[in-house]
Amino acid sequence: MIDKDVTIQKRIDMDLLSRSMTGVVVYALLIPVVFWPFDFYQLQPMLSTIFAVGMFFTSILRMIHRVFTERLYQYSAKLWRLLFMSLSLCHAGILGAFFVFSIYDERFTPILHVTMLAMGGISSGAVVALIPRIKFSLVNLSVLLIPSIVAGVIINEKLPYAGMIAVYFGFIAMMGVRSSKEYIRSFEIELMLDEQKNELERHGKIDALTNIYNRGYFNIELEKQWEYASRLNLRLSLLLIDVDHFKAFNDNYGHLIGDACLVHIAEIINQVAQRETDLAARFGGEEFVLLILENDSDEAEKIAEVLRKKIENSPFHVDGKSFPVTVSIGVASIQPSHNIDSRQLIEYSDLALYKAKHEGRNLVKIHTN
């Protein structure tokens, strides 16, 4: 789930970058700090220069990578990761070589103890910084320490060093894996909480029976669309839909069949509400609404007539039985403005619906001012 979430993957990558930047600065200064106090740069000027320049230059490249992160990541997240990992491994490779020389080359004996301390600190710090990508963290740790372990095995008198480093490698690796699981778990919990929040929000605006929007959500959206239409000088139309003779239908066939009828009607209304701005909702009981933005009354009437005929020609079926059903629809259209209350649109639709029912039902009637 987390692997497929692009937003979370970017957050993990940006956290990875943020965690590693302290190390980038430290790496730029580490070699001189180790060499200079012990006058090692005077004893081995060539080696000192090679390691110091290599670390400093790689740090500069990583800082440039940091500066262009937003553009680069937007262009290609894979390319961003490739560059990040390549530069990180360059640092690890230089340090891994430095550790090998410091432990097994007699020229580095004056700085052996401080190098061992640096090895422990850098290895643990690198694992912690790269925990968001634990597989890469372990690769990085391997580049840092495994060369020293291998060299110690080859050089017999240095075998105790190799054993000590190997034990430390295993310990740090296990701690890193454990910490990574806790890190990833925090995102899993966040996703779970987001899903629960979305589900609660969904239940708050969806009618439990018909699975379309409820009256409360319709009221909120009506005000939003009213304000939007008012700013852009658009018309707003409302279809108020009532299931004909629904009380008698419930009495004759029972409430379960009545519920199935409402679900059937809601599905057809949803089919007719095809535009993104169309809003279908259960208004209450056997009444539904369809809110349509940027339509004049003629267009709204055509949509209403299509809906009425579709319901009339689509009896619903329960347990092998067919039940015909019809609806009456009242239509009103208004050019919203701040001088008109949005409830007036509902009132006009209700007046048109009353007229449709009064004139025999299964009709579409338009309110005219």
DSSP characters for 260-308? Answer: HHHHHHHHHHHHH--STT-EEEEEETTEEEEEEES--HHHHHHHHHHHH
**What's the pLDDT score for residue 295?**
59
Give CA torsion, residues 300, 303, 305, 309, to 10 deg.
-160
Which residue spans within the chain are E strands per DSSP?
236-243, 279-284, 287-293, 316-318, 321-323, 327-334, 364-366
Contact in structure between 311 and 329 (CB atoms under 8 Å): no
Q: What are phi and psi of 241, to 5 degrees?
A: -115, 130
**What's the pLDDT score for residue 194?**
77
Q: For 243-267, how does the pLDDT look when each residue is reduced to its tens digit (9 = 90+)?
A: 999 998 888 888 888 999 999 999 9
- The residue from 286, 287, 301, 312 that is catalytic is 286
Q: For 326-350, how does the pLDDT look when each residue is reduced to its tens digit (9 = 90+)?
A: 999 999 999 998 888 999 999 999 9
Return mean pLDDT, the chain. 86
DSSP, res 231? H
Closest CA to 333 of 217, 216, 229: 229
Domain parsing of the chain, residue ranges: 6-197, 215-366
User: Cα separation of 124 and 119, whole Å?
Assistant: 9
User: Cα separation of 288 and 279, whole Å?
Assistant: 11
For 215-366, the fitting CATH number among 3.40.50.1110, 3.30.70.270, 1.10.357.10, 3.60.20.10 is 3.30.70.270
106 is annotated as an active-site residue:
no
User: Cα separation of 160 and 301, whole Å?
Assistant: 90
Q: For 285-300, how does the pLDDT look when each residue is reduced to its tens digit (9 = 90+)?
A: 999 999 998 755 578 8
Contact in structure between 221 and 227 (CB atoms under 8 Å): no
**What's the pLDDT score for residue 212?**
92
Is 90 exceeded by the pLDDT of residue 51?
A: no
Q: What are phi and psi of 68, to 5 degrees?
A: -100, 20
Is 80 exceeded by the pLDDT of residue 115?
A: no
User: Cα separation of 302 and 296, whole Å?
Assistant: 10
| Distance from the Cα of residue 39 to its chain's centroid | 53
**What's the pLDDT score for residue 41?**
62
